[in-house]
Structure 1
């Protein structure tokens, strides 16, 4: 018997259970399936247009900037415009997300790089899994499609979110995750991002970009 098996055997003896305890497993499954729903504020609820308006208002309140694109094909031009008007380098990195790859980046003058960041990228773009109207928050999933390094290392983070993916609250994000991935197959990390990185640890002075991007520009696709 390995050390690991000995430890688990000791735990089972102390709990007076066997290695296969169907009733306990069934009890856990039933509790998870019928977990009570907590109180959810109504602020983010409403029709799609109302949810989107709340999301935009909350995101701007925490120093994110917002732009709208009628279609996914308009996203590269919007990001190029933002970089140009803010006197930023015409470079951009993104992962393997097919929604981003299908956009007409060649129609811009942007220099495109692919894959995770090594820390030397100034600009990156990610595609959000969902957005939370209640708090102006973006939900991004880890993985090769949208590497987590792109969320934290570049100075300027662009996030594309489709209007249909703007939900009322965080609880709705997890419901979508369960529906999309099923039990036991969730992504390793879900990053919730609300505005650019900030800290007021030193003398209570707010500093943007303390632990991540100093700018967060959100492009909402299909808002019309």
Structure 2
């Protein structure tokens, strides 16, 4: 910027130069594709999902089959159990098999009723946000297991949805080494759209601070596409489909 230029003139000059470079780039791309540039905004006569997709639905058994297939394809594990007694048995067995020493769970009635403290007295079991003086993010990062209950799940994408609240910390599903997600079978839907409509209905002001879509363990890849599991989240994810949640 010269002394003769004002700040606004300098910004305008930079914008003009940037637009010229953008035009040149787009022209080169169009030339290489051997077709004219599209300069008009395309018409979009349809908005949202088509009607046939909104009506698409699988049977309960098909939802279980497709959810299992899609979750396992992403590297997760799916176990279908009858009730919470089997959930408790799975957690206690897995904790023993994996030599877990710390478990962090959400502060929910159904998880309290599992009485994991009585079944696993040798393991340090923490309950999210039950002590305001605890550094909960550090606790989550040090946990071997994170235990949460899914608010929703979609069979078509193999996704689980976990929403945050004061009793349901985001860190419980994001930081432990192993994540165990309990999914009441009635919360398993066919399409993701069946879940997203609920968020529209409650309105932006009523949405929680965090809505997390989990589709298997954390997966990261560098610029050479070398895949690494568990860098930015749990490296092992178990989804427990429960017929009788209460």
TM-score calculated relative to the size of structure 2: 0.68
Contact 1:77-1:108 within 8 A present in 2 as well: no
CA distance in 1: counterparts of 2:172 and 2:149, whole angstroms:
11
Q: Which residue is equivalent to 1:95?
A: 106
How does 1:110-129 map onto structure 2 within 5 Å?
110-115=123-128, 116-118=136-138, 119-129=141-151
> 1:77-115: CA deviations, max 9, x gaps?
111212223x33143111212221222324522432111
Distance 1:184 1:99, change over 3 A: same
Contact 2:102-2:142 within 8 A present in 1 as well: no
CA distance in 2: counterparts of 1:174 and 1:52, whole angstroms:
20
Distance 1:71 1:107, change over 3 A: farther
Moved more, 102-111 or 139-148: 102-111
TM-superposed deviation, 1:208 = 0.4
Q: Please state if 1:197 is matched with 2:218.
A: yes
- Aligned residue for 2:142, secondary structure, equals coil
RMSD, aligned CA = 2.5
State which structure, 1 or 2, has the greater radius of gyration over its C-alpha atoms: 2
Structure 2: runs of 5 or more not aligned: 1-45, 129-135
CA distance in 1: counterparts of 2:158 and 2:118, whole angstroms:
31
Q: Please state if 1:221 is matched with 2:233.
A: no
- Aligned residue for 2:162, secondary structure, equals strand
Distance 1:83 1:41, change over 3 A: farther
TM-superposed deviation, 1:146 = 2.0
CA distance in 1: counterparts of 2:179 and 2:137, whole angstroms:
12
Q: 1:143 aligns with which of 154, 165, 168?
A: 165
Aligned residues: 187
Contact 1:131-1:137 within 8 A present in 2 as well: yes
Contact 1:155-1:212 within 8 A present in 2 as well: yes
Contact 1:196-1:209 within 8 A present in 2 as well: yes
- Aligned residue for 2:173, secondary structure, equals helix
CA distance in 1: counterparts of 2:190 and 2:83, whole angstroms:
22
TM-superposed deviation, 1:202 = 5.1
Contact 1:157-1:215 within 8 A present in 2 as well: yes
Structure 1: runs of 5 or more not aligned: 1-34
TM-superposed deviation, 1:222 = 0.7
Q: Please state if 1:208 is matched with 2:208.
A: no
CA distance in 2: counterparts of 1:182 and 1:100, whole angstroms:
29
